[in-house]
Structure 1
């Protein structure tokens, strides 16, 4: 956060105008430029206060590749997902389509209050391939974002995904992990499975003020627990 400190005023009587020479005038102008420079100060992030930036996106990211290349699953073809609901932590969000960036990373949605799914990979509910992937921001400069409480998930928590046809698939969380972004284990997180699997990903850990993002990712692993409704 940048804090602007107003420069001290120069007393009018300190330098009578009738005595100013070109060299003195140059010194005055230089001094004013220095005094008017914005001073940046480091502000500690109070516990529980949101702090983030557009660069503070998850999945594998930002920055971590979607590897191995997640593709469509094998046996099932559910409809496109439309909404995510996680009752135990009060999350309910429309799902926006996300695509890979040129570096292979998956960005988070531009809207901090919405989650997004990797539209180039399996749909939630597909079996026999990599997991479906849903990501969201943890927070922003203005407050908590859609996945702020993802850290409060517990093993056994239910995650519901409604598709565009109105059917609801229920997944159950069976594992929660934190990984450093610079060593994100993409091969393990996106491993193929005979089950219909889902990954929920956001940022966590220490906030790196220089980079403008968190150093770690939180990944919730979930598997299909029930059919449609």
Structure 2
């Protein structure tokens, strides 16, 4: 069963070539191959230079086991918060913590750091003002998200994009579906608040990928 994004994130009131026929032809082929290899290498180097440091693929292989999250830290927005498990509601929606200062992770979903889409959610605001995920909208590509377990083990992710969707148009397969990478998607509310529905009209998703 695919879960929905969340019910509400406001507290109550993401061939080898043929053999050469002559030495001259062979030498020309080798020279051409060398030039192409050089161009390809230069192009690859240029791509890496233009990527934010945090988004460069790690040189060493990393353990793809997930951890049970206990805390989340996002330096760019000075976010430090506890993480607690949440379930899927009867209507198929991912629940959200009652405490607006706590971040939720899907209890029976993918754990952060494991292959797949791990998902965390949190309140955007409450009747008094900002809640735990209020500043997610300020994140940019390359910003780092750190998840810790109760023993102090850490896993790091880099932000790839921050996008807002109408509640009924959120890309559920991209947020919750299968992937061959270790990803973490953070979701909260955005857009105008509907008093009749008691929720915001949009969902903000921060898509991240594991880097350490």
TM, length-normalised to structure 1: 0.65
For this pair of structures, how many residues does the alignment match? Answer: 155
Relative contact order (C-alpha < 8 Å, sep 6+): which is higher? 2
Larger radius of gyration: 1
Q: Does 1:221 align with 2:189?
A: no
Q: How far apart, in 2, do the equivalents of 1:62 and 1:194 lie?
A: 28
State the partner residue of 1:124.
112
Aligned equivalent of 2:87, options 84, 94, 99: 99
Q: Does 1:159 align with 2:104?
A: no
- Answer yes or no: is the 8 Å Cα contact 1:79–1:164 preserved in 2: no
Aligned equivalent of 2:197, options 179, 190, 211: 211
Shift of the alpha carbon at 1:195? 1.3
State the partner residue of 2:131.
145
State the partner residue of 2:70.
82
Q: How far apart, in 1, do the equivalents of 2:67 and 2:196 lie?
A: 42
Cα deviation, 1:48-79, whole Å, max 9, x if unaligned, reads xxxxxxxxxxx60217xxxxxxxxxxx94333
Aligned positions of 1:22-33 closer than 5 A: none
State the partner residue of 1:134.
120
TM, length-normalised to structure 2: 0.70
Cα deviation, 1:119-174, whole Å, max 9, x if unaligned, reads 110110001x3x11010000000111000101101111100000122111110000
Q: How far apart, in 1, do the equivalents of 2:196 and 2:86 lie?
A: 27
Task: Indicate the SS of the match to 1:81.
Answer: coil
RMSD between superposed Cα atoms in Å:
1.5
Larger helix proportion, structure 1 or 2? 2
- Answer yes or no: is the 8 Å Cα contact 1:82–1:95 preserved in 2: yes
Shift of the alpha carbon at 1:92? 0.6
Q: Does 1:180 align with 2:125?
A: no
Aligned positions of 1:54-69 closer than 5 A: 60-62=5-7
Cα deviation, 1:59-113, whole Å, max 9, x if unaligned, reads 60217xxxxxxxxxxx943331110011111111110110000111011100011
Aligned positions of 1:40-51 closer than 5 A: none
Q: How far apart, in 1, do the equivalents of 2:198 and 2:118 lie?
A: 28
Task: Indicate the SS of the match to 1:103.
Answer: coil
Shift of the alpha carbon at 1:175? 1.2
- Answer yes or no: is the 8 Å Cα contact 1:169–1:224 preserved in 2: yes
Q: How far apart, in 2, do the equivalents of 1:136 and 1:80 lie?
A: 17
Structure 2 residue runs without a partner (length 5+): 9-62
Q: How far apart, in 2, do the equivalents of 1:189 and 1:97 lie?
A: 18
- Answer yes or no: is the 8 Å Cα contact 2:119–2:175 preserved in 1: no
